[in-house]
Amino acid sequence: MVGCGTLTDKDSELNRLKEIESHLNGKTLIVYWYLLKSGKSLGVREIQRELGMSSPSVASHHLDKLKELGVVEQDSYGRYFLSKTIEVGVLQVFSKVGRFMLPRYSFYAVFFTTLLILYITISYNVINFSALGFVLVGCLIFWYETVRIWRRRPL
Helix/strand/coil (H/E/C) assignment for every residue in the chain: CHHHCCCCHHHHHHHHHHHHHHHCCHHHHHHHHHHHHHCCCECHHHHHHHHCCCCHHHHHHHHHHHHHCCCEEECCCCCEEECCCCCCHHHHHEEEECCEEEECHHHHHHHHHHHHHHHHHHCCCCCCHHHHHHHHHHHHHHHHHHHHHHCCCCC
Q: 119: phi > 0 → left, psi -120 to 50 → alpha, else beta; which?
A: alpha
Instruction: Report pLDDT for 22.
Output: 75
With 90 as the cut, is the pLDDT of residue 154 above it? no
Percent of the chain with pLDDT over 90: 45
- pLDDT above 50 for 131: yes
What's the confidence (pLDDT) of residue 152? 87
pLDDT at 97 over 50: yes
- pLDDT, one tens digit per residue, over 36-94 is 888 889 999 999 999 999 999 999 999 999 998 888 999 989 899 988 888 777 788 89
**Among 50, 41, 145, 49, which residue's Cα sits nearest to residue 102?**
145
pLDDT computed for residue 4 by the predictor: 54
pLDDT of amino acid 144: 97
Report the alpha-carbon distance of residue 58 to residue 54 in Å, rounded. Answer: 7
Residue-level pLDDT at 98: 84
Task: Quote the pLDDT of residue 5.
Answer: 52
- In this prediction, residue 42 carries a pLDDT of 93
Average pLDDT, the chain: 87
0.75 exceeded by pTM:
no
Instruction: Give the pLDDT score at 91.
Output: 82
Residue pair 72/35 in contact (Cβ under 8 Å)? The answer is: yes
CA angle 71, 26, 107 (to 5 degrees): 70
Using 50, 70 and 90 to split pLDDT, how confident is the model at 1?
very low
